[in-house]
Structures are given as C-alpha cells and as structure tokens.
Amino acid sequence: MSSVKKFMFVNRKAPYGTIYALEALEVVLITAAFDQDVSLVFLDDGVYQLKKGQQTKGIETKNFSPAYRALADYDIEKLYVEKESMQARGLTEEDLLVDVAVLSRAEMGALMDEQDVVMSF
Amino acid sequence: MLHIVNRSPLSDCALESCLSTASGGDILLIEDAVYAATSGNAFEGKVRAAMGRFKISVLRPDAEARGFGDRIIEGVSPVDYADFVELVAANKTCQSWL
C-alpha cells in the first residue's frame, strides 16, 4: 500500500560556499524516484542557487545549476521562491534559470504547514 | 592590513563585524562574500559606505561561479588568484573573518 506524501525541501544556502545546495539537489533527485508530491522552496540565500549565468570554470567546481532545469523531466515541477528574499538580493524572476512561483513569506509559511515531510538544507 | 571575508552578508555577520571593527586597509571578498559586492543587494549601501575607508576587492572566479561576474558594483575591484597572493604579500598582517 503506497500513499503519496507531501515532501518539501527547504533551500536556504547559497551554492558552492557550502555543500548544502548540492546535497539538497541530490536528495531531491532520489525522492523523485518514489513518485511523491515534491515541492522545492528557495528562501534567504537559497534563491542564489537559481541565479542564471553561473560559470564555475574559474573555481574548478562542477556547475550543478543546469540540473534545476532538468527537474521537470523527473516530474518535479513545484518550485517556489520567496519574494522578499529575492528582493533583498536585487533579483527578479528574469534573473532565475527556471520558471518558479513567487510567494510571500506568509504564503511560504502556510505552504510549509501543509507538508507531511519537511527536509531542511 | 588585509581583511578576508568569505560569508554572505545576508546570512552571517562576518562582513558586518569586519566593517565595524577594522579601521581601514584592504578588504577581499571571496566565496559567498562576493554577494556583498553585487548590485541591488540589501548590503550594498554598507559596502558603498565603506569604500572611503577601505580598498575593496572581490575574487572574480567566485563572482563568476555564482552568476554575478557582470554585476559587481562600481568601486569594487575584481581580482584573480594571482592578485589574491599579491594582496597577502603586500600586507603585513591578514585577518580572515571566518
């Protein structure tokens, strides 16, 4: 008997400076194999993960940002970005490499409350 | 002296501490601290206000990796790894605000 649960992955860290962003992405891709209801949210410095134009050759690190565009192929289509976080960083939806739904902080909190499982990164 | 900061100004107080503690000299923004020198971020005003007291540089490969190679604010100098070494060698002491 399998039942679909609501999984939320909360991304709050910038990419490359720490391993959190990459680790979150790995876990999300694993979760995708189990046909669950997956939401990815990006707030605080997590919004930087979705910035267009990442060029990592100079730091000799793998650029994992194209993987966010591949998420749709794994039926992960619920991507949410927190509006205030984006504004505080001078970013607009135009700066992001995937289509996202933009939520206020209050809406993000409400969405969090609806989840069965919340994974924090 | 040289002050090196590697934390994002919007999630850690390292740069804030650096700016309020140090009296002057060089500041090099590396890793996640490069976000401080990007246009439109909430910490931009504090970086601009510090320009008179400090010579501020940003490590270009770290800015490019994060997609901000073309959005560094005027008055902050993009530098490469060789320049990083020069900065360290040119200063008698160095504080890393870890």
pLDDT one-digit tens code per residue, B54-74: 999 999 999 999 999 999 999
Q: Domain locations in chain B?
A: 2-97
CB contact under 8 A, B40 and A54: no
The C-alpha of A91 sits at a distance from chain B's nearest C-alpha, in angstroms, of: 8
CA B52, B43, B17, B7 torsion-angle sign: negative
**CB burial string A18-57: b at 16+ within 10 A, e below:** bebbbebbeebeebbeeebebbbbbbbbbbbbbbeebbbe
Residue ranges of domains in chain A, CATH in brackets: 6-120 (3.40.1260.10)
Q: What is the pLDDT of residues A43-71, one digit of tens each?
A: 999 999 999 999 999 999 999 999 999 99
Cβ–Cβ below 8 Å for A15 and B60: no
Residues 60-79 of chain B with CB under 8 A from chain A are: 60-62, 64-71
pLDDT value at position A3? 85
pLDDT at A118 over 80: yes
Closest CA to A27 of A71, A85, A78, A80: A71
pLDDT at A41: 98
B33-42 burial, b for 16+ CB within 10 Å, e for fewer?
Answer: bbbbbbeebb
- Domain spanning B2-97: which superfamily? DsrEFH-like (3.40.1260.10)
ipTM score here?
0.92
Name every chain B residue with its beta carbon within 8 A of the beta carbon of A65: 67
